[in-house]
Amino acid sequence: MTAVLPEGLSVSTAVNPLTEAGRLEPKAYDAVLLASFGGPEGQDDVIPFLRNVTRGRGIPDERLEEVSHHYRAFGGVSPINAQNRTLKAALEAELAVRGIGLPVYWGNRNWDPYIPETLQRIYDDGHRRVLMVTTSVYSCYSSCRQYREDIGLALTETGLAGRLEVDKVRQYFDHPGFVSPFVEGTTAGLAQVRAALGAADGARDGEIRVLFATHSIPTRDAVAAGRSEGEPREFEGGSAYVAQHLANARAIMAAVAPDVAWDLVYQSRSGAPHIPWLEPDINDRLEAIAGEGVKGAVIVPLGFVSDHMEVAWDLDTEALETCRGLGIEAVRVPTPGVHREFVAGLVDLIRERTTERNVAERPHVTGLGPWYDVCRPGCCENFRGAKPVIAEAEAATGTAAGTVLGSGHDSYPAAESAAAPTERES
């Protein structure tokens, strides 16, 4: 498939001197692992699923039942598993079209098929070198490091450490395959809202706001996102997670409507109320902009790959209900899902890492990317304690057997000499 990128989206293939040092040489992988969050598939699954999500935190079932309402409202079924089955099939088809003979396996962190069992099946099927693609694209603990830890733990617990090698594609937040569907969707969303306001020529653009929505995370996790040994950059908003979203939003608006106002907003906050999380909440921001005279909103689920529960409930149910109550004409833009450019982009990410049909260029639409293949030690710190981890320099499992271009961690530029770039399913 040949990518047809939206007009106006600026794509670069320039080398980033910082992240290039964390680039792995291509390898002869023999399988792909599609790793995701997982979700319940019936009412009886909801509490066991939530126990998995909150394991180790001592949360009683009574409390879990209190927060299960959005799953209960959808019959106990999260859309995410069906969406991942569709994405897996789309990846298999695209790999076949490209002539790449890699089987695709699917494993979840929190529901069947679980990652440990999937890794065992991969090994039993005769594969020894696996490349993981996740459905979380930004940098923070839950979107990146937790996946890398889950693989490290699974390799250790199954006894496959040292026998099965698992690497991971880079965090692809600014890959054009992920961003271009949002350009297309935001363009269409603006046209819909303009038509609803009766000014399709854009004469009322001053009354429209584009809201880029992503999963909120605890402020402490946000500060740790992208922070690691020797990372020389100071990120906008104090966090790689925040900076990556802001950079993507700017790239999208530059391509779609440079003069339309926009905000980055957050959703899906959970946990104890005294612990600070990223703000503003999307519903609070909607109330604020309504007071500023905004009559139309385009909601862009920029933090998400597919229309899973946090999109279906927090945006399509709660946020759109808030808009109706405020008299705001609103449209929610689709997530990439199995958009042709997104699926093609995932295969391009795989080809960046394979010896078979390798592509050397690494496209990106912001100055923050392309991101690392192998993270610096301690990136996106786990405040509950260290765990086995893959795709990290000096890691004891997984990619430890790989070759980092240069000479591993020592090849990362030092903070004082590095040249700066020019520019959640949960």
Structure confidence at residue 228 (pLDDT):
85
Residue 278 CB contacts under 8 Å (≥ 6 apart), including other chains = 216, 217, 219, 222, 242, 266
Q: Is the pLDDT of residue 176 over 70?
A: yes
Higher-scoring residue by pLDDT: 242, 66: 242
Q: Residue 15 — pLDDT band, cuts 50, 70, 90?
A: very high
Q: Does the structure show a pLDDT above 90 at 311?
A: yes
Q: Measured between alpha carbons, how far is residue 22 from residues 242, 294, 400, 405, 410 in Å?
A: 21, 44, 13, 7, 10
3-state secondary structure the chain: CCCCCCCCCCCECCCCCCHHHHCECCECCCEEEEEECCCCECHHHHHHHHHHHCCCCCCCHHHHHHCCHHHHCCCCECCHHHHHHHHHHHHHHHHHHCCCCCCEEEEECCCCCEHHHHHHHHHHCCCCEEEEEECCCCCCHHHHHHHHHHHHHHHHHCCCCCCCEEEECCCCCCCHHHHHHHHHHHHHHHHHHHHHHCCCCCCCHHHEEEEEEEECCEHHHHHHCCCCCCCCCCCHHHCHHHHHHHHHHHHHHHHHCCCCEEEEEEECCCCCCCCCECCCEHHHHHHHHHHCCCCEEEEECCCCCCCCHHHHCHHHHHHHHHHHHHCCEEEECCCCCCCHHHHHHHHHHHHCCECCCCCCCCCECCCCCCCCCCECCCCCCCCCCCCCCCCECCCCCHHHHCCECCECECCCCCCCCCCCCCCCCC
Q: What is the pLDDT of residues 244-272, one digit of tens each?
A: 999 999 999 999 999 999 999 999 998 78
> pLDDT band for position 410 (50/70/90)?
very low
pLDDT in tens, 371-380: 999 998 989 9
Where residue 4 falls among pLDDT bands split at 50, 70, 90? low
pLDDT of residue 407 exceeding 50, the answer is no
Position 181 scores a pLDDT of: 98
Asked if pLDDT for residue 418 goes beyond 80, the answer is no
Q: What pLDDT shows up at residue 230?
A: 78
Confidence of residue 56 (pLDDT cuts 50, 70, 90): confident
pLDDT tens per residue, range 132-146: 999 999 999 999 999
Looking at per-residue pLDDT, the higher value among 224 and 414 belongs to 224
